[in-house]
Structure 1
Amino acid sequence: MTIDSGGPPTRPAATPPMFAAPESLVEHARRFYAAGGPPAPPRMAATVLLVRPVPAADSDNNFEVYVIRRLASMTFGGMYAFPGGGVDPSDSKAALDWSGPSAADWGDRLGLAPDAAQAVLCAAAREVFEEAGVLLAGPGPGTIVGDVSGADWESARQALVERRAGFAELLREQRLTLRADLLLPWSRWVTPEFEPRRFDTYFFVALLPAGQRTRDVSGEADHTMWIRPAEALARADAGEIAMLPPTRVTLAEIAACGGRAGLPAASAERDAATPVMPRLDLAPDGTGRFLLA
């Protein structure tokens, strides 16, 4: 049978993509629908595809994306994904210097009120700093900080992780401007209703700033890597690495952009406000497939 998740509308597709669902998620779904309880409300979240250039004779394959494998003990554990996490309540009201479109303009693009749009942008920048050690900020518009891997920066990053300091506070102390203009809006995904923990996640693409490097510092991953999108998809198809539909679909979309230079133009044409929520098709043999239409 096909389970209609209801909730926000999904975008139509001519040929619905299908992905095998892990046994653990199939079991979650069966328990949820057998119990007949209400779905958990999704928490607002943001995730960032960090991209870096690599030499390639094939211009369509001239960049890599940074992925992390979540710890087995975590939600979606064992799956490769992009750095990201939930919106912090303080993100929507923080006063901070901002470079790029206004929060109201971002709200129009993301389908959110201005304060909610600010919260999502702040969460995206904060999470990529917390989980990958990359800071999308600079002394002013058009500038970016360099290496942020030193001891002082690591102390500041750890204070964020432990919620002893807020992201806006960090930027003010360092006299930095949030480079919201470096975040390219891409898509929005909502966790299916049968999951006990659900997220309403906005996906962004960002080029790794010159002079900065990713670091495995989050404590939420047991493996990280830079990989070309096409290679990641091939390894996922071969069963070598595990990914959920949002990760696989997004990798396929950025791989089809004609190389790194095509990402900004592709982002400008994207619908980043309409949510996508996979449906689960449960087969009589106990297996399940995610459907995206």
Structure 2
Amino acid sequence: MRELPDDLTLPSSTATFPEVPARPRDAATVVLVRDGAEGVEAFLLRRVSGMAFAGGMTVFPGGGVDRRDADATVAWTGPPPSWWASRFSCSPELATALVCAAVRETFEESGVLLAGPSAATVVADTSGYADARAALVAREVSFAEFLAAEGLVLRADLLRPWTNWVTPEEEPRRYDTRFFVAVLPAGQRADDATSEASDGVWQRPVDALADWEAGRRTLMPPTWVTLSELAEFVGVADVLAAPREVERIIPKLVRDGGRIRVVIP
């Protein structure tokens, strides 16, 4: 694990830490990558300022698990829930919900859909599902219902487990987030057509980190570390082939004079 820079802080850090830590909510994040002209690129969203969590921060697509994400009837191909459960050290039921949440949130926030008409295909153009995307955002339908209505199969085989970050106990709003990596499917495009982001862009990890250092981006520790890791790879094939043992990382907020620093125990 990389040592975090001294000036890297979490959003909405409170002056008074809670006496009893809040229970973290399960969440999923997908690091979308593609091969660019000069190497690996990642898709980044800048969250709208003023949001309750991570307002103004640059993040990867993702969000909280919906209770309906655990629907075991979802059409699925790829590693089974038991495989994901072993990687993320959780129950198969939660593993099902995490994978569904990862694919659903990626579709809602970026328009990228890791699903196809069959176990061996993936949608090449998601524009025809715009209404369904809006219905998912509004929670009018569940992800399993959407897939069934469109005759689509969730492609769990297009995801790779990456890591597990938990919001520090000192924060009032906490998430237990499992990170996945996925390659942008051929023919699809990522957009920023979400009310939660002010803009979205593909960027080389090294350039995103340079923007952070110059004050043009604000990053949370999980994003900073993940971008630093991705910067070491030449292409997406190397990212997918990289051996990963999922770590559960819980940073701490430490008072340092008049500021609060983030450290990894």
TM range (shorter): over 0.9
Is 1:40 equivalent to 2:22 in the alignment? Answer: yes
> Which 5+ residue runs of structure 2 have no aligned equivalent?
none
Distance 1:177 1:196 in 2: 37
Distance 1:105 1:242 in 2: 34
For 2:46 and 2:3, the matched residues in 1 are separated by: 27
Q: Give the corresponding residue for 2:65.
A: 87
Work out whether residues 66 and 227 of structure 1, in 8 Å CA contact, stay in contact via their aligned partners in 2: yes
Mapping for residues 115-126 of structure 1, pairs under 5 Å: 115-126=93-104
Cα 1:17–1:210 shift into 2, 3 Å: same
Per the alignment, residue 17 of structure 1 pairs with 4
Deviations 1:88-143 (A, max 9, x none): 11111341221111111111111111111010000000000000011100111121
Show the counterpart of 2:264: 292
Counterpart secondary structure, 1:241: coil
Secondary structure, counterpart of 2:249 in structure 1? coil
Query: Of 206, 212, 216, which aligns to 1:230?
Result: 206
Equivalent position to 1:279, from 249, 252, 264: 252
Match of 1:176 among 152, 157, 169: 152
Partners in 2 of 1:208 and 1:105 — Cα distance? 23
Matches within 5 A, 1:1-293: 13=1, 16-22=3-9, 25-26=12-13, 28=14, 30-32=15-17, 36-56=18-38, 62-74=39-51, 75-150=53-128, 153-266=129-242, 269-272=243-246, 274-284=247-257, 286-293=258-265
* TM-score (normalised: structure 2): 0.95
Contact 1:50 1:206 in 2 (8 A): yes
Task: For CA contacts below 8 A with separation 6 or more, give which structure has more relative contact order.
Answer: 1
Residue pair 2:22, 2:169 contacting (<8 A) in 1 also: yes
**Equivalent position amino acid for 1:116 in 2:** L
* Root mean square deviation, CA, Å: 1.6
Q: Does the aligned pair in 2 maintain the 1:49–1:206 contact within 8 Å?
A: yes
For normalisation by structure 1, the TM-score amounts to 0.86
Whether contact under 8 Å (1:21, 1:288) holds in the other structure is no
Residues 194-237 of structure 1: CA distance to partner in whole angstroms, max 9, x if unpaired?
A: 21211000011111111111121220011211100010011111
Offset, 1:71? 1.0
Greater radius of gyration (CA): 1
Share of identical aligned residues, percent? 47
Which residue identity is paired with 1:204?
Answer: F
Q: Do 2:116 and 2:122's aligned partners in 1 also have CA atoms closer than 8 Å? A: yes
Q: Tell me which residue corresponds to 1:9.
A: none
